[in-house]
């Protein structure tokens, strides 16, 4: 019989205490080899090229018109996207933004870019294309909300048809000097199953210039936190309207950079300009 409760519990017995562990001992993580890092880098780089190739050329000339576009990502991958391609007797172009940033947003943008080309080839009208894309994205479930401006340029007739799915409102600088907002459209994509989208058709002559952009442009901030904003964008468009689309694009981006004066960007910046070829 133990002489005390401690003896009975075995606390004082030198050979009776056994350590029991419910989990196995942690194993050291395998070392990450340099050749594995190099292979991963190549995979990431190749993945980055997929949305880039689906976007189409950054500078396109069709008849008297030119389309210039550029994406300036805040990170290695961009959630913004651009698409420029021919379908039938017209040229389609789109700018858009996937909610979020980085690799996940870039992967979704690749899917959306494929849908744009697929539906534009058969449906032709921007509003019908947006409705079809919205239906597909909604059916997938848990898809990031997506905004997009989609337009069809009939460059032979000088006509532009467009529809806007919740994206930043495009600005049209007329040859007369007026700047108009193009507001026809509908809600963001993947939010409402049976969403309807309105399209509008306008005359678009070589003296006009259309600018579509992502919120990363107008939300560029100065050192004191002030945003670049739509009014500064309008003024930049007026100053660059006669430069031609390619030079106008970099003039507008330069104006935003000068305004920021070195303040870091927090979002992707995308710009597409359509106007008379120079």
- Residue scoring higher pLDDT (76 or 107): 107
Nearest to 273 by CA among 90, 159, 121, 151: 151
Per residue in 194-238, pLDDT (tens digit) is: 999 999 999 999 899 999 999 999 999 999 999 999 999 999 999
Span 174-194, average pLDDT: 95
pLDDT at res. 84: 95
pLDDT at res. 93: 97
In degrees rounded to 5, what are phi and psi of residue 64? -85, 5
Q: Which residue has the tokens 């939300």?
A: 219
Span 103-114, average pLDDT: 87
Span 90-115, average pLDDT: 89
pLDDT at res. 5: 33
HSE-CB for 89 with a 13 A CA cutoff:
5
pLDDT at res. 18: 45
Span 21-33, average pLDDT: 62
Span 58-74, average pLDDT: 93
Per residue in 133-178, pLDDT (tens digit) is: 999 999 998 889 999 999 999 999 999 999 999 999 999 999 999 9
Give 73's pLDDT tier (boundaries 50, 70, 90): confident
Question: 1 pLDDT exceeds 50?
Answer: no
Lowest mean pLDDT among 61-65, 109-113, 150-154, 156-160: 109-113
Question: 248 pLDDT exceeds 90?
Answer: yes
Nearest to 181 by CA among 195, 198, 164: 164
Question: 77 pLDDT exceeds 50?
Answer: yes
Nearest to 185 by CA among 163, 201, 168: 163
Superfamily of domain 35-276: PPM-type phosphatase domain (3.60.40.10)
Query: For the chain, what are the domain ranges?
Result: 35-276
Nearest to 91 by CA among 134, 120, 122: 120
Lowest mean pLDDT among 51-55, 62-66, 140-144: 51-55
Its pTM stands at 0.81
The mean pLDDT value of the chain amounts to 86
């Amino acid at each position: 019989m133990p002489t005390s409760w401690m003896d009975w519990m075995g606390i004082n017995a030198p050979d009776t205490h056994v350590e029991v562990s419910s989990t196995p001992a942690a194993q050291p993580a395998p070392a990450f080899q340099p050749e594995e890092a190099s292979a991963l880098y190549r995979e990431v780089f190749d993945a980055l090229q997929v949305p880039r190739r689906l976007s189409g050329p950054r500078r396109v000339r069709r008849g008297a018109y030119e389309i210039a576009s550029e994406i300036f990502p805040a990170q290695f991958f961009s959630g913004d996207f651009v698409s420029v391609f021919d379908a039938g007797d017209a040229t389609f172009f789109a700018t858009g933004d996937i909610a979020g940033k980085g690799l996940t947003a870039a992967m979704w943008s690749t899917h959306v870019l494929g849908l744009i080309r697929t539906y534009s080839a058969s449906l032709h009208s921007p509003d019908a294309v947006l409705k079809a894309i919205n239906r597909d994205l909604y059916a997938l479930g848990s898809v990031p909300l997506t905004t997009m401006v989609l337009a069809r340029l009939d460059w032979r007739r000088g006509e532009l048809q467009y529809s806007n799915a919740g994206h930043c409102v495009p600005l049209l600088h007329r040859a007369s000097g007026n700047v108009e907002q193009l507001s026809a459209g509908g809600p963001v994509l993947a939010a409402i199953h049976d969403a309807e989208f309105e399209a509008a058709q306008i005359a678009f002559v070589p003296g006009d210039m259309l600018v579509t952009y992502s919120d990363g442009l107008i939300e560029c901030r100065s050192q004191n936190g002030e945003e670049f904003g739509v009014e500064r964008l309008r003024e930049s468009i007026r100053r660059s309207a006669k430069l031609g689309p390619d030079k106008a694009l970099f003039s507008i981006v330069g104006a935003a950079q000068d305004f920021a004066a070195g303040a870091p960007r927090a979002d992707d910046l995308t710009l597409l300009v359509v106007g008379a070829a120079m």
